[in-house]
């Protein structure tokens, strides 16, 4: 708790708020899309809610950094190199899915679908593999405990609508692996890519 004037229970409140506020913003995103576009399709609705999620996450990062509670550098979230690699990944995956999927889906739709999955993966990695663990470090020093708790938060708060068993069998182990990768690489590029690929594969199975 050094370099932090907050009590532990206050840090816990901030931790929970950081994990939940972006999720609540999804509702706002849906409402805004419905208000502005009327009867929008599923893809537009999801883009709307996810953009608001990302904006909320960035605002939380800015506020937490400003207060000195956490220290996350911009290059850990995105850089020109990271964005370039992600763009190339999106294009290559779009081409692959378009060429090898058995269903007829337009290339534009596939591209937007892949972009959406990368956006979802990026913002979830940002919140649950960067923001949440940095706050957990104020409460705990043990890497294993931080790794496990961020996984539990991701699985059971970030995906509270999913079944307990699915979260235990799939999301919790995946979250632990992704956090270790993020910790080793120092940024969320690789963990975002793996996370996005995981989601895309599940969608096309």
Which tens digits make up the pLDDT trace of 21-49?
999 998 888 888 878 877 778 888 899 99
Tens of pLDDT, residue by residue over 78-98, are: 899 999 999 999 999 999 988
Task: Provide the pLDDT for residue 192.
Answer: 96
Mean pLDDT throughout 142-165?
Answer: 94
Please give the full DSSP string across the chain, using - where no structure is assigned.
-TT--S-HHHHHHHHHHHHHHHHHHHHHHHHHHHHHHSS--HHHHHHHHHHHHHHHHHHHHHHHHHHTS----HHHH--HHHHHHHHHHHHHHHHHHHHH-SS---HHHHHHHHHHHHHHHHHHHIIIIIIHHHHHHHH---HHHHHHHHHHHHHHTTTTTS-HHHIIIIIHHHHHHHHHHHHHHSSSHHHHHHHHHHHHHHHH-
Contacts 24+ apart (CB under 8 A), 82-86: 82/187, 82/189, 85/189, 85/193, 86/118, 86/122, 86/189, 86/192, 86/193
pLDDT digits (tens, 9 = 90+) for 107-130: 898 999 999 999 999 999 999 999
pLDDT over 70, % of the chain: 96
User: What's the mean pLDDT in 59-86?
Assistant: 93
Global pTM reads: 0.92
**Which tokens belong to 157?**
């708060």
- Decide if pLDDT at 172 tops 80: yes
Which pLDDT value is given to residue 4?
A: 63
Domains of the chain: which residue ranges?
8-204
Quote the CA–CA distance of 131 and 72 in Å, as a whole number: 8
Q: Say how far apart CA 103 and CA 109 lie, in whole Å.
A: 12
**Would the pLDDT of 170 be above 50?**
yes
> How far is the CA of 201 from the CAs of 92, 93, 194, in angstroms?
14, 11, 10
């Amino acid at each position: 708790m050094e370099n932090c004037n907050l009590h532990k229970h206050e840090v816990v409140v901030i931790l929970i708020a950081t994990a939940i506020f972006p999720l609540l913003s999804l509702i706002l995103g849906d409402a805004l899309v419905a208000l502005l576009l009327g009867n929008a399709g599923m893809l537009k609705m999801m883009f709307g809610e996810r953009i608001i999620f990302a904006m909320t996450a960035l605002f939380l990062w800015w506020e937490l950094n400003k207060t000195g509670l956490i220290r996350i550098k911009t290059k850990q979230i995105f850089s020109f190199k990271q964005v370039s690699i992600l763009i190339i990944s999106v294009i290559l995956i779009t081409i692959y899915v378009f060429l090898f999927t058995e269903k007829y889906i337009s290339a534009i739709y596939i591209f937007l679908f892949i972009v959406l999955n990368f956006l979802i993966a990026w913002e979830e990695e940002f919140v649950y593999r960067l923001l949440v663990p940095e706050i957990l470090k104020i409460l705990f020093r043990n890497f294993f405990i931080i790794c496990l708790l961020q996984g539990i938060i991701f699985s059971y708060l970030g995906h509270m609508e999913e079944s307990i068993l699915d979260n235990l069998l799939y999301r919790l182990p995946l979250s632990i692996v992704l956090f270790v990768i993020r910790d080793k690489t120092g940024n969320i590029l690789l963990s975002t890519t793996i996370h996005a690929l995981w989601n895309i594969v599940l969608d096309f199975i």
